[in-house]
Amino acid sequence: MDQATYITEDQQRVLWYVKLRWGALLLITTVCLYLKFVGRFRFPLLPCLIVTAAASLYNLIYPFLTRRFPGFSENRTLSDIRTIADLIVITLLIHFTGGIESPFIMLYLLELVALSMFRFTWSAYYLAALATTFYLSACFLEAYFILPHYRLSHISGTLFVSPNYILAIGFALFICCILLIYMTSFLSERFAERQHKIEELSNAKLDFMNQVMHETKSPLTSIIGYTDILLRGNFGELNKEQLPPMGVIQRQSQRILDMVNNLLDIARLESGKTKLETKNLSLSELIGHAIEEMTPQLSSKKLELIQELASDLPLLKLDETKVLEVLINLISNAVKFSNPQGKIFISTQKTGSEVQVAVRDEGLGIEAEDLPNIFEKFHRASKEAAQVRGTGLGLALSKSIVEAHGGRMWAVSSGRNKGAVFYFTLPLSPSA
């Protein structure tokens, strides 16, 4: 895959955490506005909004740094610095929303649990102590009136000046942090071990498929080659009774070889072993090439293919061979299941950050109960569909290719004899 578009697992985690932080900042802002204007609590709203705005500002920078510099998401020291910045933000919010009375104390737990999910366990323990220190410092500074105490509750009370109460809350916070970090890191490690075992099984499956490919391809190639020689009459002319069975041998051998090749491609894509060789390409030109490939099949059934292609599509980063295979598979399916002298429509349009491609036919259609399974390996829908020749792997392979590009694929049909539409999306390049 192109280096500029490849996202590591650590980068994906940081980007996921950025989204989580946006949700937390939105929730914090909503709670502050509610407490001020609905609950009528007396606390300074403006400093809270300034703090959340500052957090939002550096949260905007994180995605750029994460995508541009892979080490930003993998370096433990940088991760600690990011967490300390969040702890400072949380401490300031707690101070401005009541100190010991603030409901935002739970944000410490959320921050440290998220850090331990990155398997930075010892850093999380250290930062749990730091979070407790920040919290106790703010509360004690308020208790001794060095910092103002903003009373969140309308009920008068002096708990915020009680050192014993502050220490009890701080101790409870620290214990909760430690227990949550331990449980989260334990579950994360078990999950990582299970994922490693799954990857080992996937690699074993791929090795097996490679062996099957090696052991099957050579004899099949020989069978196909010698059958072709016999059909050409190089070893003497075949009589009329011999030609049909030789043709069956040739076609079925080729079918088995295609099936093995497709299974191997799917296994490689699903295991992540296949690296896409992407470059800037015109999707419209690729569609044109696919249509050229399918012209004989279209002509044999006297089908009309109508193109409805958007004229303003930018170049996309695509693996030419694999996307062309997807297009040929979808058009081939439409040809197989269309009635003679029918129409096939292929369209493209830009939708948000994606380009959507649709291939529609007016043929056999897909039953509603078959739609969820249409992309499974070897799945054949109705009896009529089962009568159409094919390996049952084309759609599964196409879906794997599209998902490897970061896109989606799905199908829509109103039922039998009402045609079907196959959609897939491809992401736009970042500069598009």
Encoded amino acid at 230, one letter: L
Round to whole Å and give the CA distance between 143 and 215: 79
424 CB burial (10 A radius; 0-12, 13-18, 19+): buried
Asked if 207 contacts 213 with a C-beta cutoff of 8 angstroms, the reply is no
3-state DSSP assignment of residue 351 = strand
pLDDT of 390:
54
Backbone angles phi, psi at 312, to 5 degrees: -110, 20
Q: How far is CA 380 from CA 227, 311, 419, in A?
A: 29, 36, 16
Residue 393's φ and ψ, nearest 5 degrees, are -115, -10
- Quote the DSSP letter at residue 379: -
Mean pLDDT of the chain: 84
Beta pairing class for 278-281 and 316-319: antiparallel
Give the model confidence (pLDDT) of 252-298 as tens digits: 888 888 777 777 777 777 666 677 888 899 999 999 999 998 998 89
The predicted-structure confidence for 395-413, as pLDDT tens digits, reads as follows: 888 898 998 888 999 999 8
Dihedral, CA of residue 251, residue 252, residue 254 and residue 256, to nearest 10: 160
CB 375 within 8 Å of CB 423: no
**Residue 132 CB coordination number (10 Å):** 21
CA 115 to chain centre: 22
Q: Which two tokens stand for residue 142?
A: 């308020």
Tokens of 103: 């409901």
- Percent of the chain past pLDDT 70, that is, above it, reads 89
Confidence of residue 1 (pLDDT cuts 50, 70, 90): very low
Would you say how long the chain is, in residues?
A: 432
- pTM attached to this predicted model: 0.54
- The domains located in the chain, with CATH, are 9-161 (no CATH), 279-427 (3.30.565.10)
Report yes or no: 424 and 289 within 8 Å, Cβ to Cβ. no
User: What is the tens place of the pLDDT at every residue in 127-177?
Assistant: 999 999 999 999 999 999 999 988 776 555 677 888 998 999 999 999 999
Nearest Cα to 371, choosing from 318, 323, 428, 418?
Answer: 418
Strand 343-351 relative to strand 304-308, pairing: parallel
Give percent above pLDDT 90 in the chain.
29
> Per residue in 19-60, pLDDT tens?
888 998 999 999 889 888 888 888 899 999 999 999 999 889
In 11-138, at which residue ranges do the beta strands (DSSP E only) sit? none
Interior/surface letters 323-356, b for 16+ CB within 10 angstroms, e for the rest: bbbbbbbbbbbbbbbbeeebbbbbbbeeeeebbb
* Measured distance CA(246)–CA(231) in Å, rounded: 7
Q: Which residues pair with 420 in a beta bridge?
A: 361
Quote the CA–CA distance of 77 and 70 in Å, as a whole number. 14
